[in-house]
Amino acid sequence: MKTLTDTFGRKFPYIRLSITDVCNYKCTYCLPQGYKKTPGDTRSFMSGEEISRLTKALSELGVCKIRLTGGEPTVRKDFFDILKDMKQNSNIPKITMTTNGYRLNKIAKQLYNYGLDGINISIDSLNRETFKKLTGHDRLPEILKGIKILQNLNFKNIKVNAVLLKDINDTYEDFEKFGNFIKNNEIDFRFIELMQTGDNLDYFKKNHVSSKIFRDYLENNNWIYQTFGKDAGPSLNFIHPEYKGKFGLIAPYSKDFCKTCNRLRITSRGDLRLCLFGNTGISIRHLLQNDDQKNELVDLILKQLHLKKESHYLELGDTGLTKNLSTTGG
């Protein structure tokens, strides 16, 4: 089997597939003014048929995990059709998703019934008012209810993500609140260091805080570093004998972060992105129109890997093509 391997020997069994740029939240660090169409880009989002052809090709390249992202993936009316097709026809072992959870209490059982293998839910604060200020929506109780429904269905792979923000969720007291949340819950909670994008420089300067503050908290409170499987990627993961849940940390500004990169990204309009903060992208959509184009599609993706750089150079302020995180799924 052909595999996705770059010139630095890194393998890519994991694809983050955006199926829409549309998001119904107004998160302060991503889309503070809400979703707006990209000026001059009249292309539609990939159709269900195009996504189906893409995932079948990816399965022949050793991909073992696809994460559906957005925007908010569940705003697509055909979201469950896409999920069903991927589970039944793609031969990809793990199909997961990232969501803001705004409908989670209503669709949790459906996600379980359709065979979703894992879910990442964005919750930047467990304080209801703070959550509302950050997202523009007072939906925290419904999201927590949705998580409880999944747990009652014995859904195992639940992760909660929070962006680490200065003076908002970066104190030891905040970390303790999240710790109490996972103490008796089998949930992986992960802080993600705030990343600079093309349109958030002022916000970044005001709200960025080094992930070291959370790493120090973990080390000072007897959390133990743990390694995971080949599709886990560059996140740092920690366990504690007194906690059912786990803590994690994604620190893109840390030294050698990109050495363990294991993922490629495909945008909702069918562009292959070798890096979240890369300066190049190539459309592969023209090879998603017919089933007999699969070999040509596979060859094009393999050739592009030779262009993948060793690092994102984010620490130098190079944000590449990423204007905001809704365009490539974060």
Query: Does a structural domain hold residue 104?
Result: yes
CA separation for the pair 314, 113 (Å, rounded): 40
pLDDT at 201 (0 to 100) = 83
Which residues of the chain, if any, have pLDDT below 70?
198, 228-233, 277-279, 312-330
- Provide the pLDDT for residue 328: 60
> CB of 6 within 8 A of CB of 308?
yes
- pLDDT, one tens digit per residue, over 154-174 is 999 999 999 999 999 999 999
Q: Is residue 48 part of a domain?
A: yes
Phi, psi of 129 (to 5 degrees): -70, -40
Q: Is residue 67 part of a domain?
A: yes
80 assigned to some structural domain: yes
**Which domain range does residue 287 map to?**
14-162+255-316
Distance CA 82, CA 80 (A): 5
Do 119 and 186 touch, CB atoms closer than 8 A? no
> Residue 140: inside a domain, yes or no?
yes
Q: Which residues contact 311 (CB under 8 A, 6 or more apart)?
A: 257, 258
- Tokens 């929506």 identify what position? 137
* pLDDT digits 0-9 by tens, 15-35: 999 999 999 999 999 999 899
The total of structural domains in the chain comes to 1
Residue 265 lies in a domain: yes
Determine, yes or no, domain membership for 33.
yes
Could you tell me the CATH number of the domain that includes residue 32? 3.20.20.70
Domain membership flag for residue 107: yes
